[in-house]
Chain A
Amino acid sequence: MTIPALDPADLEVLHRRLVHGATAAGLLDVAYREIESPIGTLLLASTARGLVRVAFAAEGIEEVLETLGQRLSPRILRAPTRLDRAATQLDEYFRGARTAFDLDLDDALSTGFRAHVQAHLIDIPYGATASYGQVAAALGNPKAVRAVGTACATNPLPIVQPCHRVLRADGSLGGYLGGTAAKSALLRLERGE
């Protein structure tokens, strides 16, 4: 009883002040928030350049943040308002009211051919699908089927860069970081089902 309980609201106010002060001082390298979606909790993270990571709860939110700490910067804070634009657009997407995203993206987590593949996933229209081989051919490198598969499996911005629209040549789902149930749910959503 001699250790005083603290009001969580007081700590929340202080946290907001810290985010504000850190932003003003240029010390907030990675801002993040979580949002709820029909395919579960999503983590959104952004740098000053733009959205840098979308992650599924299945990947482990804390593990993803730790990876961002290693690969980008450990100056990471929960800063929901910095992700308002992305959160709003994802919400519209899940309601079927948005077919393309208009967001600044930071490709800091991708390099080389993977980054090239991931950046071109938006060429597959909403509601359509393509095979790994078709994506490779469209990039002028028809033999790079496996590399396209790897690029999809390591896509740091799923949903926004729609790797869920890439399927196996026989039309079967293939893998997905968020699980195959999430992948088929996104495809159903885009078919208007």
Chain B
Amino acid sequence: MSTNQPFEQVVREHGPRILRVCRAVLGAGADADDAWSETFLAALRAWPDLDAGTNHEAWLVRVAQRKCIDILRARKRLPVPSDALLEGTSPQRPDTTIWAAVAALPEKQRLAVAYHYYGGLPHTETAELTGSTPTAVRRAASEGIATLRRALAHDVGATP
């Protein structure tokens, strides 16, 4: 049986989560916006035929992962400045600090944070997506979160 749920409900419910995933993988900027748009456009296309039992959250995170990979491949073909991860984040915005901290994480930790912590995928699925093992994902995610906590605590402490 396919789904009849209005797609708008899906965008409302999962849009923020998918944007965090895209920003964690690609940096908070135009690439993440493009990945978000491509994800929901592809999801809208597939939506009427999607099996009614599908876990929407996990399905969308997997679609987002493929769109992020596409964009990363395109980046390799077309060299961009090394600060691309921070492109589009303006300094006066309150969320700049955390995205900068996420962007500074080692790749394994950053991807584990993106798909597991922000995306809500289980360790096993995150491992599949990132070519890792569940144990390594668990470790990378918790190290990543610990690093973020330290970075943010330091930042808050340093601000008068």
Contacts and interface: CB of A to CB of B under 8 A. Distances in A.
B16 interface: yes
Interface string A147-182: 000000000000000000000000000000000000
A14 B5 contact: no
B59 interface: no
A74 B4 contact: yes
B6 interface: yes
A77 interface: yes
Contacts of B102: 4
B152 A2 contact: yes
A15 B40 CA distance: 9
Given A70-B4, A75-B47, A14 B95 contact: no
B5 A74 contact: yes
Nearest to A6: B16
B76 interface: no
A11 B15 contact: yes
Question: Which residue among B16, B94, B99 has the maximum number of chain A CB atoms within 10 Å of its CB?
Answer: B16
Given A2-B98, A6-B16, A74-B47, A18 B3 contact: no
Contacts of B16: 6, 11
Nearest to A22: B44
Nearest to B33: A14
Main secondary structure of the interface of B (DSSP, over half): helix
Task: Please classify how large the interface on chain A is, using the bins under 10, 10 to 19, 20 to 34, 35 or more.
Answer: 20 to 34
Contact of A25 (B5, B33, B45): B45
A135 to B, nearest CB: 33
Contacts of A32: 8
A18 B48 contact: no
B148 A75 contact: no
A66 B7 CA distance: 10
A69 B4 contact: yes
A1 interface: yes
In order of increasing CB-CB distance, the 10 nearest A-B pairs are: A76-B6, A69-B4, A70-B4, A65-B6, A4-B98, A69-B6, A2-B148, A4-B95, A21-B41, A27-B44
